[in-house]
Amino acid sequence: MSAPTSADAPKIDAFLLSREWRDGDDGIEIVLWARSKELPVRVRLSRQEAVMFVPRNVVSHAGRRVARPLTTLHGDPVDVLYFRSRRALIEERERLRDANQVALESDVKPSDRFLMERFVTGALQIEGIGRERKGVLHFENPRIRTADVKVELSVLSLDIETEGLGGALLSAAIVTRDRERVFVRAGKPGAYRGDGPSHASIELVPDERTILTRLFAEITAIDPDVLCGWNVTEYDLAYLDARARALGVPFAIGRAGERARVLLPSSPGRAAIARVPGRVVLDGIATLRSATYHFDRYTLGHVAQQLLGRAKKIDPTVDPVAEIMRMHAEDVDQLAEYNLEDCRLVLDIFEKADLLGFAMERAKLTGLSMDRPGGSVAAFDHLYLPRIHRRGVVAPDVGVEGDFVASPGGHVLESVPGLYRDVLSFDFRSLYPSIIRTFRIDPLGLYQPGDDPIPGEDGATFAREGAILPELIATLHEARRSAIATDNAALSRAIKILMNSFYGVLGTPGCRFFDPRLPTSITRRGHAIIERARLFFEAEGLPVLYGDTDSLFVHVMSGGTEEALAARGKELAATATSLIASEIARDHRLESHLELRFESHYLRFLMPTMRGSERGSKKRYAGLVRKPDGATQVVVRGLEAVRRDWSPLARRVQLELLRRVFADEPFEAWLEGLARDLAAGAFDGELVFRKRDAKSELEEYVMTTRGAEAPHARTAPIDYGHYLTKQLAPVCDVLLPFVGTSFEKIAGKQTTLF
């Protein structure tokens, strides 16, 4: 009887949740957790080897050495060294470094190399015999390929309440879309009525140990794919891990009863890492930031108010720890509802911002774990290394190719300060990725430029054919077009972030392909392109008021209807795009992928001066645009109204003053009354400054006659004169000189009182 062929082996597609590796007795063991449409999946790959490369003329003393048809970026032949353990590889690498010899790609983790060489990113196909145990499908050494599968992941939101940092555990809540549960340590008799809105979800328990055992059992029973929360790794899971160890409770919240652990940061600036076998941990704050959401504050209450229009169950003006302690002692129903509502808020934020969709799409694009924030350099490695290997080339270790030289930044044109009507803004769509595509800027192409190279900067030249990065960007560009066409906002955002990260990656010494000629060849092309666009508009008789990196602001002095000006903006953009393309084809024999697009018509536009100067400012402007629904909107960039280091009052006043001036509404009497009301204490709630200290802790203070003081521990009167002269006057005088007045002229009577 013949053996079964590969085609006979069962195949299953699954979405990758996590990957781990460890040195074992018989080689390296890699464990992959994934989620198929039917079941969670655990893949164990044993007897794997750690891999690094060495130049052929380097003598090695350990590892299994094999000659391969591979070279360095410089074209020198290399051999492969295989090791049964990662530890043995590191020992040999350090010996080589001590001898001033070179090791190549010795810093790539075994699990990452295994996946990237198979082009596995978000999903994989598993070919082999699986055996189900405890609701998990287990595979031993199956064949792994890349795949594309759509799987819905289940999410559980977790939140705990304690007696302050390091204090005892009071309650723990979990919420999914169809289940809620909160475990509360029983307090004083009478504190629990059992008639609150969440009474059916409350389980009273006698002590902390029971909270932990019941919580862990509930998570295991629900068996979610994703655990989420607010600062969930640094606080909730780290706390639960520590308390479980202290109380002798297994921290078994992983799949199939496996234990979780939290790896605390070894140095400042690094994040804690949660390892929960079979599950992904997504922190709300980190995921929002990765998805490029921006908020003044990242507290759960603030973000929930901004995104959902809902507040937490505790008044933000009271001490939260004291209030939680009070509720535990006097009103357990209220504490339970507060705990559960925090879970609900996180779950609703994830849904509103599509954070799970974003994390999945980013994983599919980059090959990084869903729970890894940032990681642009690692994503570049995952995409670029297997492609360069297919060309017979290996890469250096990080940090061994040359010294750091900063590349020029984006080109900023001198601004022309003033208050204008009818300003059109234009921008180059994905300028830096488009430059990379157009001028074939590529690490491999830099080192192997061929016989007919394309000139770069600082002596760089690039290959016309065979470039990897431009083709990768082209693929991503088409994928983004499809995502936009199908309203897949999560995928579109993930692709945009990834494409825009490539320039930054090439410009950091943390990238193994770092060479200052790469980012410089991008930015200086950008300078030339912006200058060419400026000359185009000026030749059309249209003054350029400002330009920055990829955008230009053009004054249309002849006026016209809004419809006519929008049509003209589109026509100008198309003409400039065509002109630049023809010049690139003529001068470089290249197809241009640059596209200038008309972005906005500013009905009114403010370009302010630098404070204390008559020169125009940079990266600071404001304007009035028409929204699709017909209403107008004030757009602000870089001014105090959108800066967190100014008081809420100053920010609100500047925004309202801009609106009034742009709308040709009177403002003098309003400002004068505002100054009077400030002195009368009418705006005390808007005078709190917020800043983060060196430990990223949020500090709040108000300015008093004795200096800065905490708002709830103030010992002196508020210094209204400070707010009038150092807050309101500066934010108003950004605009008022352009209408022939100043804050001093309007509110001078009030300023003299101080």
Q: Is the pLDDT of residue 5 over 50?
A: no
Report domain extents, the chain: 6-146, 155-366, 398-607, 640-751
Round to whole Å and give the CA distance between 326 and 334.
10
Q: Which of 13-22, 315-324, 460-469, 632-641 has the lowest mean pLDDT?
A: 315-324
Q: Is the pLDDT of residue 480 over 80?
A: yes
- Mean local confidence (pLDDT), 197-205: 84
| SS3 annotation, 439-493 | HCCCHHHHHCCCCCCEECCCCCEECCCCCCHHHHHHHHHHHHHHHHHCCCHHHHH
Q: What is the pLDDT of residue 1?
A: 34
The tokens of 6 are what? Answer: 């590969």
Alpha-carbon Rg for the chain, nearest whole angstrom, is: 30
Counting residues of the chain whose pLDDT is more than 70, the rounded percentage is: 95
Helix axes 376-390, 489-506, angle to 10 degrees: 80
Q: What is the pLDDT of residue 752?
A: 56
Round to whole Å and give the CA distance between 182 and 211.
9
pLDDT tens-digit profile of 405-427? Answer: 566 777 778 899 999 999 999 99
Name which residue leads in pLDDT, 314 or 626. Answer: 626
Round to whole Å and give the CA distance between 317 and 334.
18
Q: Is the pTM of this model over 0.75?
A: yes
pLDDT tens-digit profile of 120-172? Answer: 999 999 999 999 998 999 999 999 999 999 999 999 999 999 998 788 999 99
Q: Identify which of 257, 260, 237 has the alpha carbon closest to the alpha carbon of residue 174.
A: 237
Round to whole Å and give the CA distance between 80 and 68.
7
CA angle 166, 172, 174 (to 5 degrees): 140
Name which residue leads in pLDDT, 381 or 134. Answer: 381
Q: Which of 100-114, 202-216, 315-329 has the lowest mean pLDDT?
A: 315-329
In DSSP terms, 55 is beta-bridged to: 78
Q: Is the pLDDT of residue 303 over 70?
A: yes
Q: What is the pLDDT of residue 44?
A: 97
Q: Identify which of 453, 458, 459 has the alpha carbon closest to the alpha carbon of residue 439.
A: 453
Give yes or no for a contact between 367 and 379, defined as CB atoms under 8 angstroms apart.
yes
**May I ask the CATH class of domain 6-146?**
mainly beta
The tokens of 643 are what? Answer: 């800066």
pLDDT band at 190 (very low <50, low <70, confident <90, very high): low
3-state class (DSSP) for residue 76: coil
| SS3 annotation, 295-308 | CCCCCHHHHHHHHH
The tokens of 476 are what? Answer: 């991503």
| SS3 annotation, 474-486 | HHHHHHHHHHHHC
Q: Is the pLDDT of residue 566 over 70?
A: yes
3-state class (DSSP) for residue 143: strand
| Contacts of 201 by beta carbon, 8 Å cutoff, 6+ apart | 180, 181, 182, 336, 340
Q: What is the pLDDT of residue 4?
A: 42
In DSSP terms, 418 is beta-bridged to: 607
| SS3 annotation, 585-616 | HHHHCCCCCCCEEEEEEEEEEEECECCCCCCE
Round to whole Å and give the CA distance between 732 and 521.
41
Q: Identify which of 197, 179, 164, 142 has the alpha carbon closest to the alpha carbon of residue 31.
A: 142
pLDDT tens-digit profile of 54-91? Answer: 999 999 999 999 999 999 999 999 999 999 999 999 99
pLDDT tens-digit profile of 667-704? Answer: 999 999 999 999 999 999 999 998 765 444 568 899 99
Round to whole Å and give the CA distance between 275 and 255.
11
Quote the DSSP letter at residue 149.
-
Q: Is the pLDDT of residue 716 over 70?
A: yes
The most confident of the ranges 601-610, 683-692, 707-716 is 601-610
- Mean local confidence (pLDDT), 310-329: 84
Helix (H) or strand (E) holding 127: strand 123-127
The tokens of 305 are what? Answer: 């108010």
**Side-chain half-sphere of 196: how many Cα atoms within 13 Å?**
20
| Contacts of 613 by beta carbon, 8 Å cutoff, 6+ apart | none
Q: Which of 315-329, 374-388, 485-499, 633-647 has the lowest mean pLDDT?
A: 315-329
Give yes or no for a contact between 119 and 386, defined as CB atoms under 8 angstroms apart.
yes
Architecture of 398-607 per CATH? Alpha-Beta Complex (3.90)
pLDDT tens-digit profile of 38-58? Answer: 999 999 999 999 999 999 999
Q: Identify which of 162, 133, 278 has the alpha carbon closest to the alpha carbon of residue 219.
A: 278
- Mean local confidence (pLDDT), 635-656: 94
- Parallel/antiparallel/unpaired status of strands 180-185 and 169-175: antiparallel
Q: Is the pLDDT of residue 719 over 80?
A: yes
**May I ask the CATH class of domain 640-751?**
mainly alpha
Q: What is the pLDDT of residue 3?
A: 39
Give yes or no for a contact between 636 and 655, defined as CB atoms under 8 angstroms apart.
yes
Q: What is the pLDDT of residue 564?
A: 94
Instruction: Indicate the average pLDDT of the chain.
Output: 91
Answer yes or no: CATH 3.40.190.10 is held by domain 155-366: no
Q: Identify which of 348, 31, 360 has the alpha carbon closest to the alpha carbon of residue 225.
A: 360
Q: What is the pLDDT of residue 165?
A: 78
Q: CA dihedral defined by 268, 274, 275, 279, rounded to 10 degrees? A: -150
Q: Identify which of 309, 297, 323 has the alpha carbon closest to the alpha carbon of residue 688.
A: 297
Distances (CA, A) of 438 to 195, 302, 432, 462, 469: 67, 43, 10, 11, 11
Q: Identify which of 525, 544, 526 has the alpha carbon closest to the alpha carbon of residue 534.
A: 544
Give yes or no for a contact between 173 and 343, defined as CB atoms under 8 angstroms apart.
yes
The tokens of 180 are what? Answer: 């809620």
Give yes or no for a contact between 34 and 14, defined as CB atoms under 8 angstroms apart.
yes
